[in-house]
Structure 1
Amino acid sequence: MTPGAPDDRAHPHPLLPGATPATIHTWLATAEDRAGFVAEYDDALERARRELDISGVHEVIERWRRVALLQSDPAGFRHVVRYAAELATGAASPDDEPLEVTRRKAGI
């Protein structure tokens, strides 16, 4: 670390493993993603109540934490989405294609 540089360990990224559902919700980039997270989280909580097993809740939280972490770097997220769409379709997406269209192609 350079002298005078802030210590990143003192302020770890809020989306590291163990992030709370509220933190994940805050960092999701779109209203659609936030609504999707809440719906899946609610479903997982309901299943956990019925089955007395919270493993599904943890799986939902971890999957959406990764999405939020990717979205915390908009340029990086766009690159990942474009690459996934290219893998899924076999063709590069146009540079001016809206991200939501590319996401649908990629299944993200």
Structure 2
Amino acid sequence: MAASHHDPSHQSVPAAEPEALRAALSPLLRAEFDGEWEATLEEAKTSHTLAGIHELLNKWQHTAVTEMRDPGSYQRLLDKAARILEQGGNPEGGSLEDMLAHIERRRRAL
């Protein structure tokens, strides 16, 4: 019999509900979620709309799934963003012109 292995890409997606998302997040990310959750609730009280809450839950559902598949990816993203801000640009990235040309080539290939 073949040995089974744990494949995080097959974990179930947490519901877009605060309790389920909090349970799927690391303690550090859970604290960040809690701060955003509180701010979003306050905003919903004054705006009288749930749009911000739905956006927040969608964002964190995506973040939870990404972290389940690639633990630490959120922190790496934040670290890269900080480096880009410090350096005034992304030395690893291409120019806007190169990206637009690439998109145009792909469109023509369709």
Unaligned runs of 5+ in 1: 1-11, 92-108
2: CA distance between counterparts of 1:21 and 1:53? 17
Aligned match for 1:37, one of 33, 37, 50: 33
> Match for residue 65 of structure 2?
69
1: CA distance between counterparts of 2:56 and 2:16? 12
2: CA distance between counterparts of 1:50 and 1:28? 28
Aligned match for 2:80, one of 85, 96, 106: 85
> Match for residue 95 of structure 1?
none
> Residue 23 in 1 paired to residue 20 in 2?
yes
> Match for residue 14 of structure 1?
13
Kindly, what percent of the aligned residue pairs are identical?
21
> Residue 53 in 1 paired to residue 62 in 2?
no
* Letter of the 2:43 counterpart: R
Alpha-carbon deviation of 1:21?
Answer: 1.1
Alpha-carbon deviation of 1:48?
Answer: 0.6
Q: Greater Rg, structure 1 or structure 2?
A: 2
What is the TM-score normalised by the length of structure 1? 0.55
What is the TM-score normalised by the length of structure 2? 0.54
2: CA distance between counterparts of 1:28 and 1:43? 18
Conserved 8 A contact 1:14-1:23: no
Bigger proportion of residues as helix: 2
Stretches of 4+ moved more than 4 A in 1? Answer: none
* Letter of the 2:64 counterpart: A
Unaligned runs of 5+ in 2: 1-10, 85-89, 93-110
